[in-house]
Structure 1
């Protein structure tokens, strides 16, 4: 896969099908979104040990998987911060270009450029016989999957 073939879809507007799924499965309505964003901002002000931005896009990354429950989103934010702290030796300063060769040259992971019939991203992982740990270490694999996860959180359709 060449890097020119894959593009993150950062549009904040969900497709009609995804909007329906979000409303039925995630309780996502305009009023609930507004209330949850407001409450999460309040919670962040009360929890000064957590340092996050307060823009809608960032807060939505944490609220959507928590079905718009602000307290659950705050707990997720805390776990994410702890994860980054606990894995700082592997994640500090990490940029996609740091793992570009592992991703593009060694066929251990591939995010399909298209989506499946339900609009979901498809990740193919080849860490059985095709993975050569002398070329892509376990630490590189960890960083690679972390980068893929971060990229997925940036796409509203994939959240």
Structure 2
């Protein structure tokens, strides 16, 4: 039996436990965009019951890129309170973002679909880190934090 995603709805708010992969090569960040979303988002997804965040980020990265990457280290813990602009649902999300080890010869191929609706085919995009400010993306803190370099684990709280 496949384990259940750690997400549930209560009192009109959806709780979500998520992981994200920070995949950087040649000063570019690998992000995902699907056919129904007006924004880019990090490679990653929901953690499953009885799965560690490390196991989840490796699984999700493989599902979205076709490459089994290794974790370099935990970079960000993000508590995010927001209204999802496509579904109009209020979220309380906890996310762990991991910096991943990448080599230059890796070929990334996306065969996954987003959960924003039927047919939401996902596509991978390499966005220059110094141009992130000109893109609509989540998490937004990538725009400022990644250009400075990742030194320590940082805890970020965002209320939108």
Q: Normalising to structure 2: TM-score of the pair?
A: 0.21
Larger helix fraction of residues: 1
Q: Normalising to structure 1: TM-score of the pair?
A: 0.21
Whichever of the two has the greater Rg, that structure is 1
Larger strand fraction of residues: 2
